Amino acid sequence: MERGTPGMIDVKTAAQLVMQMAYSNKSALQAGMIVAGWDAREGGVVYGVPLGGTLIQVPFTLGGSGSTYIYGWVDHTYRAGMSRGETEAFVTRAVSLAMARDGSSGGVIRMVTIDAKGATRTLIPGHQVPLGHDELQGSAA
């Protein structure tokens, strides 16, 4: 969206609003938040709002119960400047690894890619989610 479009705010403003809500409710909230998007001023941008309401601009961030299992893999594998296809493959692999270790991480992957053209939603059904580990391939439910 163009800056100044009525009804549209930039990603940083949205992130600051989330940070203010988190900080104002820090004794009641038990979750970090992620604010990411694309705007004409900054392009693609990601903000993390950890517990307590700090606002941090980051190249990427993780959240959710399965994220604790994949921090090392993500730190080792992430690289700046990945193409859209590389980034989507990276996210798919990261989520599949989290799902392999965490029973609360769901059975499908829902991914939203945001760029100057808008948001593209992708659903990867459970039977198409890449396996976390080869040893799981032949296991019976």
pLDDT at 137 over 60: no
Local structure of 16: helix, strand or coil: helix
Structural domain boundaries in the chain: 1-61, 62-133
Confidence of residue 1 (pLDDT cuts 50, 70, 90): very low
Q: What are phi and psi of 105, to 5 degrees?
A: -90, 10
Q: What percent of the chain has pLDDT over 90?
A: 60
- CA 23 from chain centre, in angstroms, equals 21
> Do residues 82 and 90 touch, judged by C-beta distance below 8 A?
yes
> Smallest Cα–Cα separation from 34: which of 60, 71, 67, 65?
60
d(CA 44, CA 88): 14
d(CA 127, CA 129): 6
> Across residues 109-124, what is the average pLDDT?
93
pLDDT of residue 141: 45
pLDDT at 130 over 90: no
Tens-place pLDDT, residues 74-91: 999 999 999 999 999 999
pLDDT of residue 82: 95
Residues with Cβ within 8 Å of 28's Cβ and at least 6 positions away in sequence, in order, are none
